[in-house]
Amino acid sequence: MKLTGRDFAAKARDAAQNCGVFFFCGQDEAGASAAANDIVAMLPDPGERVEIPGAELRADPAKLGDEARSTSLFGDKRHIWCRVAGDEAHEALKTLLETGDMGAGEACPVVVVATGATDKSRTAKLLEKRKDAVVAMFYPPDLRSVTQSVRAMGDAAGLKLDGAVAERIARNANLDVRLASSEVTKLATYLDATPQSPRPANMEHLDAIGAASEEDGFASLVNAVLAGQGAKVATEIARMKQIGLNPVGTLLAVERRAAQLARISAALGNRRYQDLDKGEKARLGIFWKEERDIAEQVGRWRGPKLDRLTMRLTELHRELLQNSQSSELLLAQGLTGIARVAGAGRR
């Protein structure tokens, strides 16, 4: 089965009930990741998440089948989650499906999020004609579709969002649905909104939840990290601790910029940053005050290096949520490591 971001919402629930392998790909990595999490939530019994990195699948293709057909210590349900680059999962998925077709036994659901892959990749071609598999292709988002997604998120959270408020959330998140979802959750918490007790949200409410971030200013830390300015990163992290910035909120600021760099990179293709015209810059959310920093960061973070940055930020976000008591230390270590990679030179 083959889906796109346009028809995913309408067909996802049926796919989650009837398929066992899910392959998410496309230039919109944020949309693909969000959709993958949605599929897991729709599984009849997702159970425990077992994560297998793409490098492990490439090195040992049989491992996926072994893990998918094994049970946990207590016999609970599970699903396999794999974040891979390109066709790293191809041989592993081929082995899983071939052994299953030969009667190897039932396997738990396998969800693969592939950075740098498309519906033309070998893995997608392997899966797209199978009734027990899904290939979901996500194209770069546009403002209209993300705004619609934000309104749907608001409905689910108990927020009544008009078009202007939803559009502003979409723009502030640089069209990244994961970040937009975080903003919707923050707004719902601020208004004490629930599906049972919905509340209207307006621009003043957005200003209220965004004021602290704007006043404290994440920009200097974000720019120091992505420019590889190690000494300045240490100073900014100390400032973050001194004024009590929330570690997850701080990381979201870095994620927003990384998502913007990914959209700029996709728009550029083989062109240089200098080839962008004013209209393209406006659509990509590049404002004159930030342009010098963004142009420099685009030069540092391209191709595989940008893909690895996105994956590392996702991992770091999960680590912060799982270890809230150590979140400040984990964030400092993570951002210092990213700055070290940025400072190692351009690729």
How far is the C-alpha of 83 from the C-alpha of 89, rounded, in Å? Answer: 9
pLDDT at 42 over 70: yes
Provide the H-helix boundaries in 245-345.
247-268, 278-283, 288-300, 303-322, 327-342
Angle at 173 between CA 324 and CA 160, to 5 degrees: 95
Residues 214-227 pLDDT 10s: 434 578 899 999 99
Identity of the amino acid at 212? A
What pLDDT score was predicted for residue 123?
Answer: 96
Q: In 102-176, which ranges are continuous DSSP H helix?
A: 122-127, 143-157, 163-172
201-210 long-range Cβ contacts below 8 angstroms, 24+ apart: 201/154, 201/159, 201/160, 201/161, 201/165, 202/162, 202/165, 203/164, 203/165, 203/168, 206/165, 206/168, 206/169, 209/183, 210/172
Judged against a pLDDT cut of 50, whether residue 52 lies above it is answered with yes
For position 143, what pLDDT does the model report? 85
| pLDDT at res. 27 | 79
What phi and psi values does residue 302 have, to the nearest 5 degrees?
Answer: -135, 155
pLDDT digits (tens, 9 = 90+) for 298-316: 999 988 888 899 889 988 9
pLDDT-derived band at 331, boundaries 50, 70, 90: very high
Give the number of C-alpha atoms closer than 13 A to the C-alpha of residue 159, restricted to the C-beta side.
Answer: 29
**Does the pTM exceed 0.85?**
no
What's the pLDDT at 185? 87
Q: What is the mean pLDDT of the chain?
A: 87
Region of poorest pLDDT, from 277-281, 308-312, 334-338: 277-281
**In Å, how far from its chain's centre is CA 224?**
22
Residue 261 has pLDDT above 50, yes or no: yes
What pLDDT does residue 204 have?
Answer: 87
The CATH classification number of 2-137 equals 3.40.50.300
What integer pLDDT is reported at residue 90 of this predicted model? 97
CA–CA separation, 152 vs 262, rounded Å? 24
In 3-state terms, the chain is what percent helix, strand and coil (to 5)?
65, 10, 25
pLDDT band at 102 (very low <50, low <70, confident <90, very high): very high
Decide if pLDDT at 53 tops 50.
Answer: yes
**AA letter at 229:** Q
CB-facing half-sphere around the CA of 256: CA atoms within 13 A: 24
pLDDT at 72: 58
Pairing mode, strands 2-4 and 78-85: unpaired
Whether the per-residue pLDDT at 250 is higher than 50: the answer is: yes
| Confidence tier at 346 by pLDDT (50, 70, 90) | very low
pLDDT in tens, 194-215: 999 999 999 888 877 764 444 3
**Predicted confidence (pLDDT) at residue 140 exceeds the cutoff of 50:** yes
Is the pLDDT at 16 greater than 50? The verdict is: yes
Report the DSSP pairing between strands 110-115 and 78-85. Answer: parallel
- pLDDT tens readout for residues 163-184: 999 998 988 776 777 778 878 9
pLDDT of residue 244: 62
CATH 3.40.50.300 residue window(s) in the chain: 2-137
Query: What pLDDT, on the 0 to 100 scale, is given for residue 136?
Result: 95
The predicted structure's pLDDT at residue 243: 62
DSSP 140: P
Contacts of 54 (CB under 8 A, 6+ apart): 82, 83, 84, 85, 88, 89
